Structure 1
Amino acid sequence: MSRPLRTSLSAVLIALACLLAPFGALAAWAAYGLADTGRYVTTMAPLAADPDVRDAVADTVGAGIMREVDRRETEVRPIRGTVAPFVHEAVRSFTRTQAFRTAWDEGNRATHDAVLRALRGERDRAVTVDLAPVTAQVKRQLAHDHVPFANRIPVQHTEVAVLAAQDLGRLRKGFHVLEIAGFWLPVAACVFAVTGIAVAVHRRRAVTATALGTAFGGALLGVAVALGRRLTLGDLPDEVSRPAAGVVYDALTSTLRTAAWLLLTLGLTVAAATWLTRHLHALRLARRRRTSATPTPTRPQEPTRDQV
C-alpha cells in the first residue's frame, strides 16, 4: 500500500473513531446505565433527601388526595374544608421519614420495572404508578395527629402516568436501536482507532490526532448534556416542578458527564504524553548527532628514539 493511500485511510478511520466515541458513550449510557434497575434505584435513592424533590412529591400526593376527596365530596362534604389545610403539611412531614425513603426506593423500582416491561414487550398500554400506598401512609399520619375526619379520607388507586400509550411504539423502537448501538458503537470506535493508528505512516502523529479527536468528542458530549438539560426543563409542562426535574436530570446524567470528562481528560493526557515523548526523542537524536559530529581530540605523537 502506498504512503498517500495509507495516510488517507488512517485519517478516515481515526475521524470515524473520534466521531463514534461520544455517540458510543451516549448509547451505552442509555442502553445499559438507564436500563439497569438496580443501578437506577441506587442513583435515585439520594434524591429522597432533596428538598425540591420532596416538595414536588408532596404537591403531587397532596393533590391526588384532594382529588379523591372532591370525587367523593357528596359523601364526605365536611372533609375538604377540615382536612385540606393539613394535607400538604402532613405529606411534607411524611417525606422526611424513613418510611418515605423506603417507599421512594420501592416506587422507583416498580416504575423502572414497569417501563422496561413496556419497552421490551408488545402491549401498547400506558405505564402508570399507583400512589395509593403513599396516600395510605399519609392517612395514618393524619389519624395519628388526631386530624378530624382523617379516617374518612378515601384511599383509592391514584395512578400517575409515566409513559403514554401512543408514545410506546416510537420509544420501543428507539430503545431496541439503543441496545444494539450501546454495544457496537464503542466496539467500532476502538477498532477504527486501532486500525487507523496501525496503518498510519507516522504512528506517533496518528496517536496524537486520535487523542485530540477523542478529547474534542468528550467536550462535545459535555456540551450536549448541558444543552439537553436546558431543552428538557424548557419543554416541561407548567405543573411540573423544574427544580425537582433538574435534580433528577442531573442524577440520571451524572455517569454521562463523568464519561465526557473521562474522554476529555484521557484524550488530552495521551496527546500531551505523545508530544512530550516525541520532543524528548528529538532532543536525544539531536544530542547524538552533535556528539558524533564533534571530532575526537588526538594526543601528539611522541618522537621515537631513532628520530631523536
Structure 2
Amino acid sequence: MNETSPAAGRSTSRLRAVVSALMIVVALILAPVASVGTWVRLQLVDSDQFVATFAPLADDPAVQNFVADQITDQINQQVDFEQIIGQAFDGISESGLPPRAAAAISSLRGPAVAGIQSLVASTAQRLVASDQFADLWAQSLRVTHRQATALLKDQPDAALALSDSGTLSLQLAPLVDAVKQRLSARGLDFVNRIPVTNRSVTILHSDSLGLARVSYRVAVIGGLWLSWVAVGLLVGGILVANRRRRATVASSLAAAVIFALMSIGVWIGGNVFVFSMSPNPLPSAVAHAIFDQVTAMMASTLRALTFLGLLIAVVGWFAGPARPARAVRSVLDSGFTGLRGALDRAGGDTRGFGRAVDKYRAVIYWIALALGMAAMFAARPVTFTAMAWLVVALVVVAVGVEVVRRPEVGEGGVTSEPPETSLPAATPSPTDLG
C-alpha cells in the first residue's frame, strides 16, 4: 500500500493540474465575451440605462450643431425665401414709389433673404440647445428602445427611429415643427407653408452595428450570468491548483493582458467607426461623440479590470518565494515588529483584538481590495487618479493592520509566526484563503 501511495499522489496532482488549467483557460476565454455581454445588457437592454447612455448626446455641441444644420437645410430646401421676399419687394416697388426709393428698397432684397435665413438658423440653434430638445431627445430614446426591444410599430412622432435593418436615424419632423412654431410666434406667418415631411438623418447604419447586433444577442442570452460563470471558473481553477499562488499570478497576468488588448480594440474600433461614418452621414466630431458616449462605461471597465489583474499579480508575486520579495518582506516584518514592540511598551498593546486581526489579516486584505475595486467601479469612468487612490487606500489599510495585529506568542516569548513566511503590508498570500 505504501509503495503505491507516491504514484497515487502524483496521479492526483496531475489530475488537479489538468482540471485547474482547463477551468482557468475556459474562464479566460469567457472573460471577453462576458464583459461585452454584461456591458451590452447594462447599456442597451435596460431601458433606463439606454436613455442614460444616449441622453447626454443632446447636450454635446457637435451633435447640436449637426442637428441644427440639418433642420436649417430642410427648411431652406422646402421654402424659397428669395421668391417670398421677392414678391414682397415687388409689391412695394409697384406701389408708385419714386425711382430712387424703389431702387433703394430693391437693394435690400438680398440682405432681407440672408436675414430671414440667418433667423431660421439661429432659431434652430436655440431650439437644439434648449431643454425642450433635450426632453424630446430623452422621450424619443425611450420610445426607440421600446421599439427595438419589443418589436413595436414605428412611432411617427419619435425623433429617433430604429428600422428593422438596424439603421438608427433622427426624425426631423418633430424638430422642424418646433422651429415653425417659434418662427410663427415671431410674426413670420409664411413658415406655416413649410410642409412637415418624414425626412430623417442616419445616425448609425447596420453595417457599422454588426458587432453590436451580435453583442446584443449575447447579452440577451447570457449577459446576466456569463460573467459569474467566468469568475466562478477562475476562482475554482485557482483553488483546485496544486500551486495556488502561481496559478493566481499567471491567471491574473493573462486576464490583464486580455483586457488591455480589449481596451486597444475599443480604441481601434472607435477610429474605424469614425472613418466609416464621416464625413457622410456624420461629421467626424459627431461620430466621435456618439462612439465615446456609447463605449465610455465599457472602456472604463476594461481599464479597471486590467488594473485589477496587474494588482493581484503583483500581490501574488510579492507573497512568493522570489529572493527580492523575501528580502522586502523580511525588512518590512522587522520594522513592523519593532514598531509593535515600541507601542506595547508604551501601553498600546491591542491584546485579543490584535490577535484576531493577525488571524484574519489575509481576509481583511482581500475584503479591502474587493471594497476598493467596487468603489472604483461605482465611480466610473475609471481614471488613473482613481487607481492611484485605490493603491494608497490599500497601503493605508495594510499598514494599519500590521500595526494593530499581534502575532501569537509561543514558548520562550517567541512569536509563532515564522519570519520567512510572514507577509508585509497589503500582500496576503492567496493560499491563506484556500
TM-score by length of 2: 0.56
Q: Which amino acid aligns with 2:56?
A: P
Q: Hey, what's the Cα distance between the residues in 1 that align with 2:209 and 2:256?
A: 36
Verify the 8 A CA contact 1:79 1:153 in the aligned structure 2. Answer: no
Equivalent residue number for residue 232 of structure 1? 273
Verify the 8 A CA contact 1:124 1:169 in the aligned structure 2. Answer: no
Q: Does 1:266 align with 2:308?
A: yes
Q: Deviations over 1:232-272 (max 9, x none)?
A: 11111533122112111111111101210121111112112
Q: Hey, what's the Cα distance between the residues in 2 that align with 1:114 and 1:79?
A: 43
Q: Hey, what's the Cα distance between the residues in 2 that align with 1:159 and 1:146?
A: 28
Q: Deviations over 1:114-173 (max 9, x none)?
A: 222349xxx957766533221111112222334462232223343445687999999867
- What is the CA RMSD across the aligned residues, in angstroms? 3.6
From 147, 153, 162, give the equivalent of 2:194: 153
Q: Does 1:12 align with 2:22?
A: yes
Give the structure, 1 or 2, with the largest relative contact order (CA under 8 Å, sep 6 or more). Answer: 1
Q: Does 1:117 align with 2:150?
A: yes
Q: Does 1:100 align with 2:133?
A: yes
Deviation, 1:68, is 4.1
Q: Hey, what's the Cα distance between the residues in 2 that align with 1:69 and 1:50?
A: 29
Tell me the matched-pair count: 283
Q: Hey, what's the Cα distance between the residues in 1 that align with 2:209 and 2:263?
A: 28
Moved more, 267-276 or 220-229: 267-276
Deviation, 1:206, is 0.9
Give the 3 Å change call, closer, same or farther, for CA 152–30 of structure 1 in structure 2: same
Equivalent residue number for residue 78 of structure 1? 84
Equivalent residue number for residue 54 of structure 2? 44
Q: Which amino acid aligns with 1:92?
A: Q
Q: Hey, what's the Cα distance between the residues in 2 that align with 1:113 and 1:79?
A: 45
From 12, 18, 21, give the equivalent of 1:2: 12
Q: Which amino acid aligns with 1:208?
A: V
Secondary structure, in 3 states, of the residue corresponding to 2:277?
coil
Q: Does 1:89 align with 2:122?
A: yes
Q: Hey, what's the Cα distance between the residues in 1 that align with 2:68 and 2:196?
A: 16
Give the 3 Å change call, closer, same or farther, for CA 221–156 of structure 1 in structure 2: same
Deviation, 1:67, is 4.3
Deviation, 1:79, is 7.6
Deviation, 1:205, is 0.9
Equivalent residue number for residue 211 of structure 1? 252
Q: Hey, what's the Cα distance between the residues in 2 that align with 1:248 and 1:126?
A: 16
Moved more, 160-169 or 231-240: 160-169
From 298, 304, 317, give the equivalent of 1:256: 298
Q: Which amino acid aligns with 1:101?
A: A
Q: Which amino acid aligns with 1:247?
A: A
Give the 3 Å change call, closer, same or farther, for CA 210–223 of structure 1 in structure 2: same
Deviation, 1:202, is 0.4
Q: Hey, what's the Cα distance between the residues in 1 that align with 2:213 and 2:194?
A: 39
| Deviation beyond 6 Å, 4+ runs, structure 1 | 162-174
Taking only the aligned residue pairs, the percentage that are identical comes to 30
Equivalent residue number for residue 38 of structure 2? 28
Q: Does 1:54 align with 2:59?
A: no
Secondary structure, in 3 states, of the residue corresponding to 2:319?
helix
Moved more, 275-284 or 61-70: 275-284
Q: Which amino acid aligns with 1:28?
A: T
Deviation, 1:95, is 1.5
Verify the 8 A CA contact 1:118 1:168 in the aligned structure 2. Answer: no
Secondary structure, in 3 states, of the residue corresponding to 1:235?
helix
Secondary structure, in 3 states, of the residue corresponding to 2:242?
coil
For structure 1, the residue ranges without an aligned partner over 5 or more in a row are: 289-308
Deviation, 1:274, is 1.8
Deviation, 1:33, is 1.8
Q: Hey, what's the Cα distance between the residues in 2 that align with 1:275 and 1:31?
A: 35
